[in-house]
Amino acid sequence: MKNMIAILALALSLLALRGQAQYYTDATPQLPVAATVPLTMDVEFFDVDNDNDLDLILACEFQQNLLLFNDGFGNFSQDVQRLFPPRTTYIPNTFNQGEDSEDIALEDFNGDGKMDILFVSEDSPYHELLFGADSGTFYLAPSQIPRTNKANAVLTMDFNGDTHIDVLLGHTGENYLYLNNGDGSFYKDSLGLFPTNLNQTQDLKAADLDLDGDMDIVEGCEFGGSNIYINNNGLFTEESNRFNTNVEEYETRKIAVEDVNGDQFPDLFLCNVSWRNTVISQSLLMINDGTGSFTDQTTLRFPYAHAFTLDALFMDLNGDGVKDMVTCGDGDIFNPKAYLNNPDSLGYFSHAPEMFPDLYQGRMIAIAAADVNGDDQLDLYLGSTPDRMLLWQEPTGIASIQDGSGMSTFYNAQQGLLHVRGLKNTDRQLQVYDALGRSLGEFNLQVVNGEEQVQVSDRMKSQVIFIRIEDAGGNVRTAQPLLLH
């Protein structure tokens, strides 16, 4: 019993060390940093040139939008032969460096099998619809979507069931739905498929909120709180009474959608600010009750963060199989923040401040995740001024606690190898146990130069183990805990 208590105590101490590990490293020098000085408002990854790596598409404020090509190892650069076409067709050319692009939609709008791009604009005269051509080049579509009001958000889906991708623009005034003719030209919906309001839309997300097999829509607004639109056979109705919050009014900039508590129903994280100084800046974690209605459980499930949150995404940060959260915001204390979802109590988050390096950035307004260097791990891109990039840094070894034997153990997650160093030629057997003392396997050692490598099984990963090494006479040489991750 005492041995079991000791095992558990050591396991818990190692888990505490896990929260102090920095898993990401600053890889901003792998970007053309000077080109990203204009404020990046939105970020999308896509293999533009079909070379099996992910390139970057950036919506820039009052600057020409950027296309950055990946060399396959996460090094990005511009190609002067494949820049996005500048939009300079209006006189007087007040914004001569480009539109005030706010949001990006990637779709094959004209049905030619190539990805097209729509940038929507806020404080400048035009949206920009680009059709994809060959070898990662784009040209302005002959028919552009008219800019009738400031737009901060765009959502694409087939609204009228004709298999063509339509465009919903989130305006500061009345929202407009544009239906696709099938060739990438659009006409304004006259059937009232989607209702409108004047709450100044900042974000639009589609999700099957009530699990009835069709896509509903969540709208983040600058005034009055967020809205829900339920899809009833292609006709959307506003049902914002489905939001039950403890806050009468809040200012939402972005919405992240994920089933955080494992009940199969999508939950929502509302990224809130208080730039108008009349609302709180507390972001809200809204839990789906199983019917497509939401209750504010922020206080119960999420660490208090009285901060300006401008964007968020859900991703598995620590390899435990559940979706954690990354947020970014405004001010140098708003470096990207990591919040880990508790796998033993899903939907309850804890702040992991050492997950990311300190970037000391004044404003981070957009965030996106993708594997940019082919290591099967998600990396992070932060839209800022200039932009920043974080690469997953595989822990080539989280060292075990030393016990005076002179041996140490390390785990290489990329190769799935457990390294043992400081062995003697007489050491013969490695035994592996979980934190409860249950055997996970025994390995015969073939010591070479005081080291041995053991291939571990997938079921040992992402957990605390306890190893025991015996020599040829059956004497225990060492027993120590280790986190496999």
User: What would the pLDDT profile of 258-273 be if each residue is shown by its tens digit?
Assistant: 999 999 999 999 999 8
* In the chain, % of residues over pLDDT 90: 50
Residues 377, 318 contacting (CB under 8 angstroms) = no
Each residue of 400-413: pLDDT tens digit?
A: 444 456 676 766 65
CA distance linking residue 483 with residue 467, whole number of Å? 11
Q: What single DSSP character describes residue 280?
A: B
Q: For residue range 362-397, list pLDDT tens digits in order.
A: 788 999 999 999 988 999 999 988 899 999 875 444
b/e code 230-267 from CB counts within 10 Å (16+ = b)? bbeeeebebbbebbebeeeebbbbbbbbbbbbeeebbb
pLDDT at 465: 65
Q: Measured between alpha carbons, how far is 55 from 361 in angstroms, rounded to an integer?
A: 24
* pLDDT digit string, tens, across residues 88-119: 555 555 555 788 899 999 999 999 999 999 99
Stretch among 6-15, 69-78, 83-92, 317-326 having the lowest mean pLDDT: 6-15
Task: Specify the pTM.
Answer: 0.77
Average pLDDT over residues 48-61: 95
Q: In 3-state terms, what secondary structure has residue 242?
A: helix
Distance between CA atoms of residues 255 and 325, nearest Å: 12
Q: Report the candidate in 272, 290, 289 with the shortest Cα–Cα distance to residue 281.
A: 272
337 or 275, which is more confident: 337
